[in-house]
Amino acid sequence: MAEHFARTPNVLGWQTDNELSGPQDFSETTRVDFQDWLRRQYGTLEAQGEAQGKQCGAKLHKSDDKKPELHPREAAQGVVDAVSGEPFVVSAVMQRERRKRPPAPFTTSTMQQEASKQLGFSSQRTMRTAQQLYEGVELGDEGGVGLITYMRTDSTRVAPAALDGVREFIGNEYGTRYLPEKPNTYSNRKAAQDAHEAIRPTSMERDPEQVRAQLTADQFYLYRLIWSRFVASQMLPATFGKAPAFLPVAASMGTPLPVMGPT
SS (HEC) of 220-237: HHHHHHHHHHHHHHCCCC
Q: Which pLDDT value is given to residue 88?
A: 64
Out of 28-32, 45-49, 107-111, 253-257, the most confident range is: 107-111
pLDDT greater than 80 at residue 49: no
Distances in Å between the Cα of 257 and the Cα atoms of 4, 86, 164, 253 are 16, 10, 58, 11
Q: Which residues have CB under 8 Å from 221's CB, separation 6+?
A: 119
Over 90: is that where the pLDDT of 185 sits?
yes
Taking only the tens place, the pLDDT of each residue in 194-230 is 899 999 999 999 999 999 999 999 999 999 999 999 9
Kindly indicate the confidence band of residue 92, based on its pLDDT and cuts at 50, 70 and 90: low
| Ranges of each domain in the chain | 4-95+243-262, 108-239
Question: Per-residue pLDDT for 23 more than 60?
Answer: no
Task: Give pLDDT, residue 10.
Answer: 40
Residue 44 to residue 49: CA distance in whole angstroms: 17
Predicted confidence at residue 25, as pLDDT, reads 52
pLDDT at position 232? 96
Listed residue (242, 249, 252) closest to 4, CA to CA:
249
Identify whether the C-beta of residue 152 lies closer than 8 Å to the C-beta of residue 196: yes
Nearest by Cα to 48 from 90, 81, 7, 102: 7
Q: Once rounded to an integer, what is the mean pLDDT over residues 248-263?
A: 45
Residues 6 or more apart from 144 whose CB is under 8 A from it? 135, 136, 137, 138
Mean pLDDT throughout 179-201? 92
Mean pLDDT, rounded, of the chain:
78
Interval 63-84: pLDDT, tens: 666 666 666 666 667 777 776 6
**Per-residue pLDDT at 258 exceeds 50:** no
Residue type, 32: V
Angle value at C-alpha 18, between 15 and 21, nearest 5 degrees: 110
pLDDT attached to residue 77: 74
CATH of domain 108-239: 1.10.290.10
Q: Which residues are catalytic?
A: 150
In this prediction, residue 182 carries a pLDDT of 95
